[in-house]
Chains A and B, each alone.
Chain A
Amino acid sequence: MTDTRIPPARAERPAAPPAKDAPRPSARDRGTRLLATLFLAPTIVGIVVFTVVPIVGSVVLSLFHWNVIDEPRFAGGSNYGAVFGDETVLVSFRNTLVFMVLAVALQLLVALALALTLTGRMPVWLRSVFRSAFFFPLVLSAASISVVMKYLFNQDFGVINWLLGFVGIAPVPWLTSENAAMVTVVLVYVWQQFGFSFLLFVGGLNNIPKEIHEAAALDGATGLRKHLSVTLPLLSPTLLVASVVGIINALQVFEQPYVLTNGGPGDSTRTVVMVIYETAFEQLRFGEASAVGVLLFVLIMAVTALQFRLSRRFVHYQ
């Protein structure tokens, strides 16, 4: 049988002598390492094959002109020059950032408000119903949801405008006005995505010891003051996770604007990933598309790094 006992932690061992004189690890240590490596191997192989290789491939491809049909030609940095000179790309970055701010803020706000409501007094069965209902859109395909929403939000034939007509509201150009289209895309996105943040918040709120709230209540903190001074600081690690995941997802938004508006009217809802798709698979400029992809990768890394840096100031661990 395989020896599955966990070896003593390194810290419990005598201090390691200089490397030169270090004793050779025992056979048992080597066996344990081998076992650990075997267990980690599938994950490492997966990360290398599906993450590292594509990233490196994209960086390399961004230095070439390639249209799939002909041989790639080295382009140096000209793809990046073309990207920075392309108004559509710049607009798509602006749109994506606007989308990210609106969508993540709304998503966190809605999820937090609903989580706070559901962790209050409520029958257990009703709480389960709400939890399932809020999470349900997340398991549906974003594309199919968007197709349905496109029908609902249609200016001329949509159910939403039809219902608004009963209360005397004129048809709203949900998807056909530059200003309204982005808002509609955000609403559809948030409706589908907030379930994830909601579950995180429910878990986070349940982990806050009741004693702290009781102590705060004894000190006179109730209602909004209690949430601002007690709940939010204690929930800040969960907020950090929810916002990091939310921002990364929002920066990669594709399905909702692609199906709902196809980036329009004009370029008003065209996002970076849409531009990557169109440039690569419709216009066959894979080098430029990869350059945009690399820039998006850098943006996501920068925003995430900034979040973690700021988290030192705003996140409180118990």
Chain B
Amino acid sequence: MTDSHLTRRRLLRYGAYGAGAAALGGTAASWERLTGADIPGRDDGSLVVATLGPAYGPEAIRTLREGFRELHPDIKLQINAVQAVDWSDFFAKILTQVAAGTAPDLVYVATEGVQLFAQRLGVALDKWVKRDAAELKEYFADVHPSLVESMMYEGSLYQLPVEFNAADMYLNRQVLRRAGAQYPPADWTRDDFTTLLRDMKQASGARFTPYFWTNRLWGGVVPWLFANDTNLLAESKAPGGEWLWDSFYSAGQRAGRGGGFRWTTPQATHDRVEEVYDYLASLVRDGLCTRPEGGNGQNLIGVFSTGRVGVTPAGGFWAGGLHLAGMDRDGFDVQYFPRWRTQRMQYGAAGYALLRTSKRQEEAWEFIKYAARKDTLAQLFTTNQTTPARRSMLTAGRYEETGPAHWQVFYDTLDRFPDTGPIPAPPQVAEVEQLLLKHTGTALASSRSVRPALRRLQGDLEKAMERDA
């Protein structure tokens, strides 16, 4: 209704306001700006692959993209390198994308997340593996069955592993010489290890730390648990998987294999677990190793390469890291983790997981196969920043420049100790890891705090495992 007091002049003024507002609105609407549709690969028909940013730099992404384009010019590919400090952070960011409705088609997933993604988000690759069995024979022949088994969940395969890292022991040659010690034999024991640490400490002084370790699921307490023939959670194998083992592996290789690992009942209060914590507490007490909170992977390369640390658990990824830090190939070497009750070792692997929400599953499968090809991996893993899952890629030439001298240890960890297994990573892995880190810190405060802390760890793990992932 028209205002009876509205004069012509005011009417004109409001008209001008309205026209101005409309012009502003129109300008804003037509302005070139970022919207949700501008998220790379979103709704433009691209196959979207999310990788862990720090592991895949711009050059690696370009290599992956261009190689795939040559093979499949008809498939648009978008690779998003998600920056994250660790796998847990990476998964949190991917899940945020899932929650926002912008889930990628493929996600690079390490052992830590294999079961979480398989149970909740992933698509089993079984039908494609069976269909393209002839094409994949060469791949499986080149990859250790243990790595493949670690990517299975309840009888189905969810990823093709492309890389792995076992927790072997890196030794600083300069520190060994200072201590008058020799490179240890392959079957060295926990006691040999302790003696070596004492010799190093004696030769290098008070401000030297013989053994540096990082409190995390990979390379922390868990390798010691494996060496003492136990685990944080009871480990068993799911039934199934014969479809894969019978198709690709010989009788000897498939013996004992199943449908993937199961980690169920917590066993933090078992005698052997307590033994491990007692041992580590004694190393802390005697100044032979860092405290759990003190071991920080970020500065490890620096302190190791400068001779302030003698020994640390690390995988093939460290060869490239030490080389980049300027360490000479003869400045360090690697040996298997020492024997305790067994010499079973620990590893983590990674590959691409296909998400259920993907509308491009056939294209995604083509990418998975492409990413597992030897020529692709050879182009990607040029600087020894990881251990390729393909045995044939570990050659003397690969390690000639970076070292270490005993590079064979990396893959032989699987071949020589076939029971070597993945880190315990059930679908509830985030909570399991958090509890492990927290209670390990408390447990190693002193030898008296081991048992109370492990009892609390046991109780908390039981609650976590009862909870739906």
Chain B binds chain A: yes
Which A residues are closer than 8 A to B by beta carbons?
2, 26-27, 31, 67-70, 147, 150-151, 154-157, 162, 165, 173, 175-178, 181, 261-267, 278, 281-284
A14 to B412, CA, bound (A): 95
Judge whether B441 is part of the interface by a CB distance below 8 angstroms.
yes
A165 with B299: CB separation less than 8 A = no
Provide a sorted-by-A list of 19 A–B residue pairs whose CB atoms are within 8 angstroms: A2-B13, A67-B469, A69-B120, A69-B121, A154-B294, A154-B296, A156-B207, A156-B294, A156-B303, A173-B291, A175-B294, A176-B293, A265-B442, A265-B445, A266-B453, A281-B95, A283-B434, A284-B95, A284-B430
Which residue of chain B lies nearest to A24 when distances are taken between CB atoms in the complex?
Answer: B5
With A156-B209, A156-B303, A178-B445 given, can you name 17 additional A-B contacts, CB distance below 8 Å? A27-B3, A67-B120, A67-B469, A68-B96, A69-B98, A150-B296, A156-B290, A176-B294, A261-B293, A263-B438, A264-B292, A264-B293, A265-B445, A266-B439, A266-B445, A267-B438, A283-B430
In the complex where A154-B299, A282-B431 touch, is A266 in contact with B95 (Cβ < 8 A)?
Answer: no
A-facing residues in B163-192 (Cβ within 8 Å)? none
A281 to B89 CA separation, bound complex (whole angstroms)? 8
Within 8 A of A (CB), among B242-295: 290-294
Question: Which residues on B sit within 8 Å (CB–CB) of A177?
Answer: 445
B88 within 8 Å of A (CB atoms): yes
Q: Give A285 Cβ to nearest chain B Cβ, in Å.
A: 8
Q: In the bound complex, what is the Cα–Cα distance between A265 and B444 (angstroms)?
A: 10
**Which residues of B424-469 have CB atoms within 8 Å of chain A's CB atoms?**
430-431, 434, 437-439, 441-442, 445, 453, 468-469
Residues of chain B within 8 A of A263, CB atoms compared: 438
Q: Is the interface of A mostly helix, strand, loop or mixed?
A: loop
CB-based contact B299/A151 at 8 Å:
yes
Best-buried of A31, A154, A162, A165 by chain B (most CB within 10 Å): A154
Question: Most B CB atoms within 10 A — which of A70, A262, A267, A284?
Answer: A284
Q: Nearest chain B CB to A164's CB is how many angstroms away?
A: 12
In the complex, A284 Cα to B91 Cα: how many Å?
Answer: 11
Task: State in angstroms the CA–CA spacing of A178 and B453 once bound together.
Answer: 14
Q: Which 8 A-B pairs have the closest CB atoms?
A: A266-B442, A281-B92, A265-B441, A68-B99, A282-B430, A264-B441, A176-B291, A176-B293
A278, B434: Cβ atoms under 8 Å?
yes
Q: Which of these, B92, B293, B299, contacts A265 with CB under 8 Å?
A: B293
B89-119 contacts to A, CB under 8 A, are 92, 95-96, 98-99
Picked from B92, B98, B303, B438, the residue with its CB within 8 Å of the CB of A264 is B438
In the bound complex, what is the Cα–Cα distance between A265 and B291 (angstroms)?
10
Asked whether B437 lies within 8 Å of A262 as measured between CB atoms, the reply is: yes
What residues of chain B lie closer than 8 Å to A266, measured between beta carbons? 438-439, 441-442, 445, 453
Tell me the bound Cα distance from A156 to B210 in angstroms: 11
Question: In the complex, are the beta carbons of B298 and A147 less than 8 A apart?
Answer: yes
Bound form: Cα–Cα A282–B439 in Å? 17
Q: Smallest distance from the beta carbon of B30 to chain A beta carbons, Å?
A: 20
B10 interface hit (Cβ, 8 Å) = yes
Q: How far, in whole Å, are A162 and B298 apart by their CA atoms in the complex?
A: 19
Pairwise interchain contact A282-B120, C-beta atoms closer than 8 A: no
A121 nearest CB across to chain B (Å): 45
Give every chain A residue within 8 A of B95 (Cβ-Cβ): 68-69, 281, 284
Residue among B298, B308, B430 facing the most chain A CB atoms (10 A cut-off): B430
Query: Which A residues lie within 8 Å of B3 (CB)?
Result: 27
Query: Closest CB of chain B to A50's CB: distance in Å?
Result: 17
Q: What's the minimum C-beta distance from B29 to chain A, rounded to whole angstroms?
A: 17
Residues of B with C-beta under 8 A to A68: 95-96, 98-99
How many angstroms from the CA of A261 to the CA of B293 in the assembled complex? 7
**C-alpha spacing A177/B293, complex, angstroms:** 9
Chain A CB within 8 A of B37 CB: no
**B431 & A157 in contact (Cβ 8 Å cutoff):** no
Q: Inside 8 A of A264's CB, which chain B residues have their CB? A: 292-293, 437-438, 441
B229 CB to closest chain A CB (Å) equals 28
In the bound complex, how far is the Cα of B468 from the Cα of A34, in angstroms? 54
B6 at the interface (CB under 8 A from A): yes
B8 to chain A, nearest CB (A): 12
Contact of B308 among A147, A157, A267 (CB under 8 A): A157
B294 touches A282 (CB 8 A): no
By a CB distance below 8 angstroms, the chain B residues around A26 are 5
Asked whether A282 lies within 8 Å of B121 as measured between CB atoms, the reply is: no
| B116 CB to nearest chain A CB (Å) | 9
Determine the distance from Cα of A263 to Cα of B430 in the docked complex, in whole angstroms.
15
- Which residues of the partner chain B approach A147 to less than 8 Å between Cβ atoms? 298
Whether A157 pairs with B299 at a CB distance below 8 angstroms is: yes
Question: If A154-B296, A267-B438 touch, does A282 touch B291 (CB 8 Å cutoff)?
Answer: no
Instruction: Say how far A148's CB is from chain B's closest CB, in angstroms.
Output: 11
A282 engages B434 (CB within 8 Å): yes
Q: Give min CB distance, B174 to chain A, whole Å.
A: 17
Distance between Cα atoms of A147 and B296 in the complex (Å): 11
CA distance A31 to B18 in the complex (A): 13
Bound: A178/B449 CA distance, A: 13
Question: Nearest CB to that of A26 among chain B residues?
Answer: B5
Q: A266 to B430, alpha carbons, bound, how many Å?
A: 16
Identify which of A70, A165, A181, A281 contacts B96 (C-beta below 8 A). A281
Which of B207, B294, B453 is the one whose CB lies under 8 Å from A165? Answer: B207
* A26 and B292 alpha carbons, distance in the complex (Å): 73
Q: Which residues of B contact A278 (CB under 8 A)?
A: 434
Known: A265-B293, A282-B88. A27 touches B5 (CB 8 A): yes
Task: Find chain A residues with CB under 8 A from B121 CB.
Answer: 69
* B97: min CB distance to chain A, Å: 10
Cα–Cα distance between A266 and B290 once the two chains are bound (Å)? 16
Asked, given contacts A68-B99, A165-B207, A283-B430, whether A155 binds B10 with beta carbons under 8 Å apart, the answer is no
